Structure 1
Amino acid sequence: MMAVVTTGNGGYDKLDYREVPIPVAGDGEVLIRVLAAGVNNTEINTRLGWYSSSVTTDTDAASQAQGASAEHKSDGGWSAATPFPLIQGTDCCGVAAAGSAAGAALIGKRVLVRPCMRPNGFDDMENIWMASDFDGAFAQFVKVPTSEVFPVDCDWSDAELATIPCAYGTSENMLHRAGVTSGELVLVAGASGGVGSATVQLARRRGARVAAITSSSKGDALRDLGADIIIERGADLVRELGEKSVDVVVDNVAGSGFPQMLKVLKRGGRLVSSGAIAGPIVELDMRDMYLKDITLIGCTAWDEPVFANLVYYIERGEIRPVLAGVFPLKEIVAAQKEFLRKTHVGNFVLVPPDVPGNNS
């Protein structure tokens, strides 16, 4: 089969489109023919080794630095060194093609793969991720545990379904952990990205009001997704919203804008995060946190209801995909470059060869 193999930490030269053996599903596993695979920050960050404590810049700056000189990072993965060579690809829409007896009922069905897996059960926070800890979906086939495969019955295209797993799963997990309820005001940083645009929809689905931080050129698209308030990126949040006005902040941006997030939170407010695309090192005034009884919530491991919830929302038509564009798998470099330009709303998707309608 054809796949993109990431050979180590570094620039785009570490992305090698080549022929590799088709994986063989073992006991408790399903082999999936990949129909489409989404592009996410996490694949870029993993290639760059951005998760290393030695990296203090945003993803874009780290990408430029690694383009100049590659450097292997022993702590560059989510929990340790990334197991290179690795087939990345966290988002997978596909068709179950083969598997053990436990997965027989899935064969021939269109499915999504839950990329965040809790191998010790949901009472234990230990987690492993497809495409960070083992080979993922930037290939024609991928094998995964049967427990992580979810059939989906809907009229969405394969590319549209491939926008869902990582971005919407991450978003739903944050809203679930933060306990977002109807009538609350949720402030979403980076609202035009994959996680951000998902959060606008999913927060509105819970009955919350949404204030979305974005560029003015993307405001109409986010209003169409359900945002009640549009705030220009870089604006003074206290001036725009007022102190102690927000119930929940969803901040996957961090960077220099982080201090204002705590200023606008109400007493007892919650700030939840699963990323830091504008930079992981932030300024935190502890008085803003403890004097206002603020709860800070970090999210990596997905809770048990999250992915089943997403499938339910899709099948009931309660959310919709935001597909920014589709590239052939072999054009992954062009897709990641376009992703880093941040001029889009939603998610980009890669389509492997031999998928109907694809000529790559």
Structure 2
Amino acid sequence: MTIIPKRMKGIQLIGHGGAENLRYCSDIPVPTPTSNDVLIQVSAAGVNNTDINTRTAWYSKSDSNSADAGWSGTALALPRIQGADVCGIIVAVGDNVCASRIGDRVLIEPCLNEANSQALNSPWYFGSECDGGFAEYTVVAAKHAYKVNSRLSDVELASFPCSYSTAENMLSRANVSSQDTVLISGASGGVGSAAIQLAKARGAYVIAITSPSKNKQLLALGADRVISRDADLIEAFGENSIDVVIDLVAGKQWPQFLQLLKPGSRYAVSGAIGGALVDLDIRTLYLKDLSFFGCTVLNPDIFQKLITYIEKGQILPIVADTFPLEEINAAQEVFLQKKHTGKIVLKVSQ
């Protein structure tokens, strides 16, 4: 029987701004599951853009104002424990949850539609609107804790939830098939490298945009062709040559994506690390009959599909580096340098 302590170690976000707003604490109260929840002892937790965007108030549309700096466009309740990519073991359950779930190794679905045993009117992001996994223990609705049977390590499993579910959701929304030529921006990051594998699993022809130093890694993942992020895409491929753009970057190159797309084709986006404001000639959108998909909230079947891919060994973890939880600042600094391929993961409980 697992002895659950009253206090735990974890990282608390205490304000918006630089890394000094991340505070390592050893006396945080261990959360108590409500009736529909499970308590999870966290083994490993991945680092994401969302963590950093939330810390720096990047989501704010009012000049980094804390009033709308949360992922959902509202203020964060501080201090907040971040961390959405979580692998761990269920150690306790709420009154409405079967006790047989204790001992399950689980991955947490990061996009939530239930919290505190209540249905949510609009989705929450784990580690943003509620406390997440950068701590020894965390709670989540039992429906969002998916049992996983795999020989992969906890660190490897923690590389999957956010990136792979986001990628699968984008591909699903854009209805990618074996008939498609797919262009992926930001292809060496967590979502991008996941999208390469998942698009190839669907039989698509995949073109990955990356820095030249990462070409071999992305070709090994399954990309059919790689191209430099500084290249002129129109010169390289010609107008009306791409069926689907999976975009994680936006930025100054964005107008070329619409030129590349064939009439009647699809554009899916879930990130803007290259710049959130882009130039759109609205005539291109409607004259080419393009379909745009903003992809954040997961379709209901996406996370279960991800668990199935993992258990069947159809996708591979890509862990670039690991750090102990207390070295989160160093982990985020490496993450921000963007020299890695795949995920950076924090080791939490041993």
Could you say which TM-score interval applies, normalised by the shorter chain? Answer: over 0.9
Mapped partners of 1:233, 1:72: distance in 2:
32
Q: CA deviation at 1:109?
A: 1.4
**CA–CA separation in structure 2 for the residues paired with 1:72 and 1:12:** 18
Q: Deviations over 1:307-346 (max 9, x none)?
A: 0000000011110011001000000000000000000000
Quote the residue 1:228 is aligned against. Answer: 224
Q: Tell me the distance in 2 between the aligned counterparts of 1:77 and 1:252.
A: 19
Deviation at 1:72, TM superposition (A): 5.0
Cα offset for 1:94?
0.2
Counterpart pick for 1:26 among 30, 34, 58: 34
Matched, 1:84 2:78: yes
Contact 1:52 1:76 in 2 (8 A): yes
- Percent identical: 48
**Which of 92, 95, 98 is 1:98 aligned to?**
92
Distance in 1, matches of 2:141 and 2:152, equals 24
Q: Which residue of 2 aligns with 1:254?
A: 250
Count of residues paired in the alignment: 337
Q: 1:3 aligns with which of 10, 15, 28?
A: 10
Contact 1:103–1:146 (CA under 8 A) maintained in structure 2: no
Q: Is 1:162 aligned to 2:158, yes or no?
A: yes
> Higher strand proportion, which one?
2
* Structure 2 residue matching 1:9: 3-state secondary structure: coil
2:306 aligned to 298, 310, 321, which one? 310
* Partner residue, 1:137: 133
Structure 2 unaligned runs (5+)?
1-7
Find the residue that maps to 1:133 and give its secondary structure.
coil
Question: Is 1:179 aligned to residue 171 of structure 2?
Answer: no
Distance in 2 of aligned mates of 1:82 and 1:206: 38
The SS at the match of 1:86 is coil
Amino acid at match of 1:29: D
Please state whether the residue corresponding to 1:127 is helix, strand or coil: strand
- Tell me the SS of whatever aligns to 2:240: coil
Residues in 1 aligned to 2:273 and 2:164: alpha-carbon distance in whole angstroms: 17
Give the structure-1-normalised TM-score. 0.91
* Residue 17 (structure 1) aligns with: 24
C-alpha distance in 1 between matches for 2:295 and 2:333: 27
Cα deviation digits, residues 266-304 of structure 1 (max 9, x gap): 011111011101110001111211111001110111101
Residue in structure 2 matched with residue 38 of structure 1 by the alignment? 46
For residues 184-223 of structure 1, the aligned pairs below 5 Å read 184-223=180-219
Moved more, 78-87 or 208-217: 78-87
Amino acid at match of 2:101: L
Matched, 1:127 2:120: no
Report deviation, 1:105: 2.5
Q: TM-score, normalised by structure 2?
A: 0.94
- Point out where structure 1 has 5 or more consecutive residues left out of the alignment: 56-70, 356-360
Tell me the residue number matched to 2:5: none
Pairing 1:244–2:240 present: yes
The equivalent residue for 1:343 is 339
Measured in 1, the distance between the counterparts of 2:50 and 2:164 equals: 14
SS class of match (2:122): coil
Does the residue aligned with 2:68 lie in a helix, a strand or coil? Answer: coil
